[in-house]
Amino acid sequence: MPSEGDDLFGVGLGLNADITTAFSVELVQIINRTQPYQLNLQYRLNHELGMAALRISQTRAASLGNTASTFRTDFGAEDVELNRYNRLLLSTIAPMEVIPAIDLLAGHCVRLYQGDYEQSQVFDENPVEVAQRWAAAGATRLHLVDLDGAKAGQPENWQAIAAIAAAVNVPIEVGGGLRDRDRVAALFDLGVQYAILGTAAVEKPDLVSTLSAEFPGQIIVGIDARDGKVATRGWLETSAIEAIALAQDMAQRGAAAIIYTDINRDGTLKGPNLEALRAITEATTVPVIASGGVSSVTDLLSLLTLERLGVNGIIVGKALYTGDISLKEALRAVGPGRWQDVPTDIGPSFA
């Protein structure tokens, strides 16, 4: 028998089903307009969980007079609970995103060990070809870091970033040396979709508020932590600011997402810091992208335990370059059509 959910989302949504009802089309438009992710809307909804979150979200949003923005997750202190329900709803629509990292140093694609510039390893001298390779393998987004820019306080690998943006047709996020409005705007002019603010978020928090208002959904805050404290200026300095406190502040200022990197795990292939990631996601109300330490498909699968809390992206670096993980294998493990989500013709999924 058709249920309330069938009326909204169509009977028996499958991986290739179209979302056809007027309400669903409106829902898709709202999500695309307000979320920092390129959602794969052919991905089936977890029916029971999605509908429960939807009903609660609508009711609470209406009580706030926000019926036109029901599915925002940036209400901040206005209604933390509404943020959490909306984030939960969105997690039922989009699969975990696997994001290849391209770290740029002197125009080359490198990886650092625990953020140490003295322990860099060049993996490819042509970052454009690297970007094209990841895009061809199925990447839905690329993560670029201008390591020279992070240290200098201004972008230094502009030519490489521009070349990559022109060469691939997938969204790109860029961080490193972005500490004022003009450089962020210039980055978007190159065709980059998302700007990552790290040091600026600590030293100029009002800049995050201003840019988030001017470029909604495009400002991501990178929180790089060493033993729970936020590191800045290319990880060369460690502040007294707690990572969790910064995440909460940035969410209220309108950041579209948080990228959390555990510096002690980065480049080590020792696995992600699940405990720290859980603490961050439980403390804030915007999507969290995990970074640092991923070494195997097992590590990727372990992060799925945090998906319902708001971790819906994974940045993978060194393991892709060493061959410990293939991107196609990673996408099969946690991306669209992953085996954990039971197809509708087999039975409901309560994952």
pTM score, two decimals?
0.72
CA 257, 114, 138, 302 dihedral sign is negative
103 is catalytic: yes
Collapsing DSSP states into helix, strand and coil, what is residue 94? coil
DSSP H helical ranges for the chain? 4-9, 22-34, 47-63, 80-91, 127-136, 147-152, 158-167, 181-189, 199-203, 205-214, 243-252, 274-283, 297-303, 318-322, 327-334
Q: Give me the residue spans of the domains in the chain.
A: 4-91, 97-334
Find the distance separating the first CA and the last CA of the chain, reported in whole Å: 23
Q: Tell me the pLDDT of the chain (351 aa) as tens digits.
A: 333 333 333 322 232 233 334 344 444 444 444 443 333 333 333 333 444 445 544 554 455 444 433 344 444 444 444 455 455 555 544 578 999 999 999 899 987 777 677 787 888 899 999 999 999 999 999 999 999 988 888 889 999 999 999 999 999 999 999 999 999 999 999 999 999 999 999 999 999 999 999 998 899 999 988 888 898 876 667 888 999 999 999 999 999 999 998 887 766 678 888 999 999 998 888 889 999 889 899 999 988 888 878 888 999 998 999 999 999 989 888 876 665 554 443 333 333
Measured CA to CA, the distance from residue 202 to residue 206 in angstroms comes to 10
Measured CA to CA, the distance from residue 333 to residue 335 in angstroms comes to 6
pLDDT of amino acid 132: 97
Considering the candidates 148, 224, 266, 299, report the single residue annotated as catalytic: 224
- Angle of CA points 153, 135, 116, to nearest 5°: 35
Neighbours of 329 (CB within 10 A): 13
Q: Residue 26 contacts by C-beta under 8 Å, 6 or more apart in sequence? A: none
Measured CA to CA, the distance from residue 235 to residue 200 in angstroms comes to 13
Closest CA to 220 of 313, 127, 308: 313
Measured CA to CA, the distance from residue 80 to residue 39 in angstroms comes to 23
- Distances from the Cα of 175 to the Cαs of 26, 40, 221, in angstroms? 32, 24, 9
pLDDT of amino acid 62: 54
Cβ burial 107-131 (10 Å sphere, 16+ → b, else e): ebbbbbeebebeebeebeeebbebb
pLDDT of amino acid 34: 40
For domain 97-334, give the fold.
TIM Barrel (3.20.20)
Collapsing DSSP states into helix, strand and coil, what is residue 9? helix
Neighbours of 147 (CB within 10 A): 25
262 is catalytic: no
Considering the candidates 74, 79, 103, 262, report the single residue annotated as catalytic: 103
